[in-house]
Amino acid sequence: MAELEKQGGAARGYLIRGQFLAAPPLVAGLYVVATPIGNLGDVTLRALDTLAGADLVACEDTRITRRLLTRYGIAARITAYHEHSGPAAHRRLLQTLEEGRSVALVSDAGTPLLSDPGARLVADAIARGHRVVPIPGPSAPVAALSAAGLPADAFLFLGFLPSKPGPRRKRLAEFARVPATLAFFESPNRVGALLADAAAELGAERQAALCRELTKLHETFDRGTLGALAERYAATETRGEIVLLVAPPGKAEPPEAAEVEHALRNALQVMGVKEAAQHVAEMTGLPRRELYQKALSLKVPAKDRER
């Protein structure tokens, strides 16, 4: 292990099953590194190369990251960088990049920037002309989607919803008709409330999967309708990291022509023709061009249309 601790020299590297592997030198820049979401064996070789070769590893919780580094014998210099770090920590990381050094950015689990800090650092690094390199790997929403049995051709990641019922239900309603599988993160003490609100706003018959403790010993996939899951978890205590997936809505029947005209007339009272057509298109899923022509005919006075 002594040779591993010589950070800055040619001996940077890591251990896999007792074998030392040297890490190749890194070009200066910010490396966004995905780390395991539970099972430490899911780390990629490229991630180990990067963590061992970086001049500095910036992480949310130094204790969690140190556990991963220790598992693979990596003697890296680490620093805390999270939502409460403040501007000074942010400036220090940018200064490290300005000095022509390499910084590896990791979250507590999974791919950075998905519901955790780092977006501003990446944006500022790009703005200053620094190289930003993705080191892909584990991602909780993708892992859940791969084994949930729900449509995976299109999905929308919405992270953590508001903790209060009112804002949470409003947020759910905004995405009720999105034709994609929805992915949420939730804490175990609020999962019952989330399921109840999701059943109310998205539809109790929507298929869903509650994915818990992914890649860990007690990994579970609880599948069923939102209504059934909401009833099941109404008074059930649960633990662990949770991803909730909700299948796309079923195809609704096209609205009646009278309903479309009524919606357009209401919209035209407060909007222009173009805006009204766009608004009703979003409500009904009908083609905007078709609605624009209809709105135009409704906007023009009848005596002018007859000429």
Tell me, what's the pLDDT at 304? 42
What are the C-alpha distances in Å from 34 to residues 112, 130, 160, 276?
6, 19, 19, 44
∠ CA 156-31-81, rounded to 5°: 80
- What is the mean pLDDT of the segment spanning 107-136? 92
Given a cut of 50, is residue 264 above it in pLDDT? yes
- What is the mean pLDDT of the segment spanning 124-153? 96
CA–CA distance, 76 with 54 (Å, rounded to integer)? 8
Tell me, what's the pLDDT at 208? 96
Range of weakest confidence among 14-18, 145-149, 184-188, 283-287:
283-287
Given a cut of 70, is residue 297 above it in pLDDT? yes
For residues 50 and 71, the answer to whether their CB atoms sit within 8 Å is no
For 171, residues 6+ apart whose C-beta sits below 8 A from its C-beta are 158, 161, 162
Helix (H, G, I), strand (E, B) or coil at 72: coil
Rounded to two decimals, the pTM is 0.77
Strand partners, 122: none
Tell me, what's the pLDDT at 6? 42
H helix or E strand, kind and range, residue 129: none
CA–CA distance, 204 with 252 (Å, rounded to integer)? 15
pLDDT band at 86 (very low <50, low <70, confident <90, very high): confident
> Mean pLDDT, the chain, as a whole number?
90
pLDDT more than 90, % of the chain: 72
The two structure tokens encoding residue 111: 């791919």
Tell me, what's the pLDDT at 287? 82
pLDDT digits (tens, 9 = 90+) for 142-194: 999 999 999 999 999 999 999 999 999 999 999 999 999 999 999 999 999 99
CA–CA distance, 179 with 162 (Å, rounded to integer)? 22
